[in-house]
Structure 1
Amino acid sequence: MLATKRAKVLIQSAHFEILNEIYTYNIPSNEDNNADKTVCLITDVRTDPALPGNEDFHAFNKEVEVQAFYGLNAPDPDEFESQLQHLFIKDGWVVLDNRGHTFDPDTNQLTATFYFDYFEIEDAK
């Protein structure tokens, strides 16, 4: 399964009240400047072959970027961000990086960016 889809399904399963929408790869143009909603965007960072052997590979390291764009009236994001990271860890992902908070000067939204890695062993064929 694509890492972005796996991450989206995982986040959806948590039913975070703070999130209005979860998107993969891009935010639709009709949502681009909607600063009233809290939106999560999941994008693919890399998929690298792993576990080499017999001149082939048997697994993948998959990394995703998860960005949160907080609505202008969203509650403090600390609890959500902690729960998000715990959710990924409990599902077997590794938190690679938390880039902290930034401020979007165009929409006045607070944003946060996280990187998660997942190790997936291929099914035997």
Structure 2
Amino acid sequence: MRKESRDVLEAYLRSRQQQGEELNSLTPLMISHHASYKGDRLSYHGIYFAVEKIGEFAGIEDLHPHQFRHTYATELLLLGVDPSHARKLTGHQSEKAFRRYTLRSEQEAAIAAYYRAIGEVEAE
């Protein structure tokens, strides 16, 4: 996790403690604020709904949690992280499932290498 993300997460946890919540290693990171489930671990559907709403507010259509995993995997590979380490970090069990990300990152790396070779900056 990048430092900026760690700092935000630490601030979030501090705010929960300041509100009187006792945190330990078993405390859920993401909790529900729904009246029926207040304080319970946020479910997959709760996370999906929250991400979808964030996407709506940000003007991003059809945003869903799996896109974060996909982006993370691709970014790791583009940064040059060994594919076996990237697969471990993203929690992929299957090499076949993870291969989708390596194909995309290899293509993007090849395009970037081409532009570097001809002395041009890749168009965004």
Using structure 1 for the length normalisation, give the TM-score: 0.28
The structure that is helix-richer by fraction is 2
Q: Which has the higher contact order (CA 8 A, sep 6+)?
A: 1
What TM-score do you get using the length of structure 2 for normalisation? 0.28
- Determine which structure has more spread, i.e. the larger CA radius of gyration: 2
Higher strand share: 1
